[in-house]
Structure 1
């Protein structure tokens, strides 16, 4: 049984379900079922279930509303618009797209809930293992490393989305539940780096075929390199470049010869994939409520053309139409055909679809709803078996090249890395300047969820994004419920009301 399939066979322990409702505080610890905390985590098998429950949060896209990271961040960037049937279809998406969020409107509830649930589960796992002397030593070491990676992963999203957040690295006592304070983002980054450094030294260099989806040493180093890069401190660029060079050179990752093959659902966990979140339709999930019970990916349903009829694709909901800006930027690039669906071409071949709000007749292709993999059981719209590739080799090549240029490091290697990414799609060399590297990131990684944070960290967001306000729009508002539940102990981000 593979790592991913185990998730369908177990009942997630109820003490790890806190934070899934927008009406509850993210620190809630009340048990909701039969497997109580005090009687659990006694054996390797029980601890493994706790680990799987922590990994499970990475898949979530239905916390406090639809908050699938890839399309949501594309809508916030200049790659896509929000779309949908009207501005009132998903107002939280439209507010993020236009940067007209407030404490109650925007995607913040789902993103806060998801990531603090992940932190909470990782903290429980680490605390319980620390007290358990009966676990197999090698098993305990690996699981602790994975839990630290996962806590770092969730906090990396939290600090990028919210800036100042509570930093919680232990199980909290009841008296501490509503007294948590936000900390400076630098302290969050310090904890993320600490967790990742401790994690990668204890992780395997590779994972078995039956364990695809578990974290490897290469993935942990890649995430740490990315964290150092995104911290935006030039003093950290040399270490970032070194870590990324190790990832790019020593773990067997390879660029796929055909760019389009990266996103083919038949190529899950390909040689180019470094950090990938698995999805499956095996769970046959059918609940339309905002409950994260299935293993499917709802993002393909969101971004498909509405009421589509024709070959290759299935009908979608018409969100995230690709902007004219991205179309113009990519129109002469070989990656266009694998990144963007041209609706006019589809219509010329006899297909039909309904134009929705902000329609441009261009749609995301990289994880579009392919008819061939549409679920045949459960609610098909919720069960797309299309994985999310969070980090892949072309990304780490470009991150290493950027770090080298910013650190004044080996410019020849930076040039080689940029050339490799371009040569894969038949493009000639361009100088490895920082602007050319940033342009290449947009071309190579378009609609994969990187663009918004790239614009923010490079201070280019205000020029590229309509409505973006410097000093405010870099972060989401804090959910109003968290401010209310803590009686103002948690405070709102600047510029929001």
Structure 2
């Protein structure tokens, strides 16, 4: 009762002073009360990078399997344990807008864009608290690089999408329509050019994994190559722009920087003990060894029967989730190609000792690095 009385008394005592006391509490976790110094801005930028990881059991890298590879000629999905989202996507069914996978992808990418826009809004209004103009500009360049990254994924997956350059509330977002693909690319290219001009070429050990000017050049080269593809759909990501020359110039800049070099051993590129090797232009840093904090990207590929025979945790139902490589892809390799063995699993013996004629990607799988279940692989892809 005493606490209630004190609260009610405070209302009467201070009610007439509303204007003077209408201040956000110092513990306010909202964006307007958070950005007070350089460390706060750095933490907010880190939050954008975190969108690439696993959030609420949604593994961002797995979206590339379901929305990229599943729609290519490289893999197919012979699932036999019920209809799953990737079956409809693989088969180009016109009902995929209702799938949970699509909703998750939309939510995660636009949430990341919201984080980037929040940082950019706060930099515009409050960058002086950082105390270092160069650092403030770097934060802006990182946020724009990341916004461009997510918008590039969106335009590849969905074509026309809404453009948000500032923070908007969920209610306001409902009134924003999809913008033409050309306009989405306009924002992407503008953001990446800003990033190229304002990101450092490299960082110290404490900031390893942040976007560099070379990462921005590599991303912009990919944008130009994608835009240059033949226009097969009026709202698709390929515009037939023939900008391959622009991409080549950017890629040559990366090569001629001498900051990167090809490895002699193909398997070393994906080796868990060789992270951040000389071929890598941009790689995110995740804390290792944290069981329960991994992802399930490798699980997207392996045959369930192989999982039950080779992993220490249940592999799932037979055929459920299998995404096998196509004969067309495998036959595009010369069988003496040294990349075949570290890239593909071709056939296996299941838990019953039966030979199974199946082929799938295994270059991202290191059984020794698997966690407590199939959703908990180390993130090294």
* TM-score (norm: length of structure 1): 0.61
- Residue of structure 2 equivalent to 1:71: 65
Corresponding residue for 2:248?
Answer: 241
SS of structure 2 residue aligned to 1:382: coil
Q: Deviations over 1:32-76 (max 9, x none)?
A: x96222210111111111111100112247677987133222222
Distance 2:92 2:170 in 1: 37
For the residues of structure 2 that align with 1:303 and 1:337, how far apart are their CA atoms? Answer: 16
In the TM superposition, 1:88-237 aligns within 5 A as: 88=83, 91-102=84-95, 103-105=97-99, 107-132=101-126, 133-135=128-130, 136-172=132-168, 176-232=172-228, 233-237=240-244
Does the alignment pair 1:328 with 2:331? yes
Whichever structure has more helix as a proportion of its residues is 2
Choose between structure 1 and 2 for higher RCO, CA contacts under 8 A separated by at least 6 residues.
1
Paired position in structure 1 for 2:37: 43
User: Which residue of 237, 243, 261 corresponds with 1:254?
Assistant: 261
For residues 41 and 176 of structure 2, the distance between their equivalents in structure 1, rounded to whole angstroms, comes to 27
* Number of residues of Structure 1 aligned to a counterpart in Structure 2: 333
Distance 2:244 2:315 in 1: 42
Structure 2: tracts of 5 or more residues without a match: 1-26, 229-239
What do you get for the CA RMSD once the two structures are aligned?
2.8
* Inter-CA distance 137–67: structure 2 relative to 1 (3 Å threshold): closer
Question: Could you say which structure has the larger radius of gyration?
Answer: 2
SS in 2 for 1:363: strand
SS at match of 2:325: coil
Whole-Å Cα distance in 1 between the matches of residues 344 and 170 of structure 2? Answer: 50
Q: Structure 1, residues 220-250: CA drift from partner, whole Å, max 9, x if none?
A: 0000111111111445332221111101221
Moved more, 239-248 or 104-113: 104-113
Give the secondary-structure state (helix, strand or coil) at the position aligned to 2:115: helix
The one of 343, 351, 362 aligned to 1:365: 362
Where do 1:334-353 residues align within 5 Å?
Answer: 334-344=338-348, 347=349, 352=351
Per the TM alignment, residue 267 of structure 1 is displaced from its structure 2 partner at its CA by: 1.4
Looking at structure 1, the residues matched to 181 and 353 of structure 2 have their Cα atoms a distance apart, in angstroms, of 44
Contact 1:41 1:47 (8 Å CA) reproduced: yes
Match of 2:277 among 263, 270, 291: 270
Q: 1:299 matched to which residue of 2?
A: 297
Task: Give the superposition deviation at 1:309.
Answer: 5.7
Determine the C-alpha separation between the residues in 1 that align with 2:260 and 2:78: 36
Aligned to 1:490: none
After TM superposition, the structure 1 = structure 2 runs for residues 16-31 of structure 1, keeping only pairs within 5 Å, are none
Q: Distance in 2 between matches of 1:297 and 1:121?
A: 22
SS at match of 2:330: helix
CA 324–352 in structure 1, closer or farther in 2 if over 3 Å, else same: farther
Distance 2:89 2:311 in 1: 31
SS of aligned partner of 2:329: helix
Q: Which runs of 5+ in 1 are unaligned?
A: 1-32, 286-293, 389-497
1:386 matches 2:379: yes
Contact 1:323–1:360 (CA under 8 A) maintained in structure 2: no
- The answer on whether the counterparts of 2:58 and 2:104 sit within 8 Å (CA) in structure 1 is yes
Q: Which residue of 1 aligns with 2:19?
A: none
- Residues 104-147 of structure 1: per-residue CA shift (max 9 Å, x gap): 13732122111111111000011112211110222211111100
TM-score, normalised to structure 2, is 0.79
